Amino acid sequence: MTNSLPSPRPRGRPRAFDRDAALGMARRTFWKLGYEGASICDLTEAMGITPQSLYAAFKSKADLYRESLEQYRRTDGAYVWRILAEEPVTALAFRRILTQAAHQYARSDLPPGCMMSTSITTCAEENRAVATVVATMRQEALDRFKARIERGKEAGDVPAGVNALNAARFLQVTIQGMSIQARDGASEADLLAVAEMASAQLDRLLSA
């Protein structure tokens, strides 16, 4: 009678995983905990992979975070750009953005607030490059709001004398404030009240 020995563990490449799905779990982890608050252990546990697989697929925590932000802009944050493109009237576009933000930021199936607004504001010096990436994305959003107002001025639905940058900044500051309030526990109804007040002000400012 011969003893049956266990087969040696096969060697080779690690088990494949769904990269996009893993990135989605990383996105939610960063969104919930922030860049510095999310440890490699937090990320790999959420993604269902090993640290070795994380580094092999995404190179570094910073690169994973950048990809997570880009995925956020394509998915949960995409409503902003969709509304800007769809709505022909500038004031109505901003009203829709504020209303949708109130709904989005208070969803029970997502972390509260906006990932770009709240996931990294202050940071350690060694993470300055990551904070700069986020600040650049926020600046791009401001530029797109400003461009939408300028387009409204050209189309005639925004008064010619409106300062496009100031109006765009007012919108962005309101959105960022709503995001922080959502993180602090504000309900959708609370955020909708803020959205309505800001929309009324923008209606007066932007309506020709």
pLDDT digits (tens, 9 = 90+) for 21-73: 999 999 999 999 999 899 999 999 999 999 999 999 999 999 999 999 999 99
The arithmetic mean of pLDDT across residues 84-97, rounded, is: 96
- Are both 90 and 65 inside the same structural domain? no
Q: Where are the alpha helices (DSSP H) in the chain?
A: 19-33, 40-47, 51-58, 61-74, 79-86, 90-105, 115-118, 128-155, 164-183, 188-206
113 DSSP assignment: S
Q: What is the CATH number of the domain that holds 159?
A: 1.10.357.10
Say if residues 54 and 60 touch (Cβ distance below 8 Å): no
CA distances for 143 relative to 17, 77, 99, angstroms: 37, 16, 21
Q: What is the CATH number of the domain that holds 31?
A: 1.10.10.60
pLDDT tens per residue, range 127-145: 788 888 888 999 999 999 9
Q: Closest Cα partner for 99 from 198, 2, 206?
A: 198
- At residue 141, what is the residue type? A
Work out the percent of the chain whose per-residue pLDDT is above 90.
80
**Helix, strand, or coil (residue 100):** helix
User: pLDDT at position 156, please?
Assistant: 95
Looking at the predicted structure, is the pLDDT value of residue 8 above 60? Answer: no
- Are both 23 and 125 inside the same structural domain? no
Say if residues 46 and 32 touch (Cβ distance below 8 Å): no
Residue numbers of the domain that contains 67: 19-72
This prediction's pTM = 0.86
Looking at the predicted structure, is the pLDDT value of residue 97 above 50? Answer: yes
Q: Per the structure, how many domains does the chain have? A: 2
User: pLDDT at position 12, please?
Assistant: 46
Domain-terminating residue out of 72, 93, 113: 72
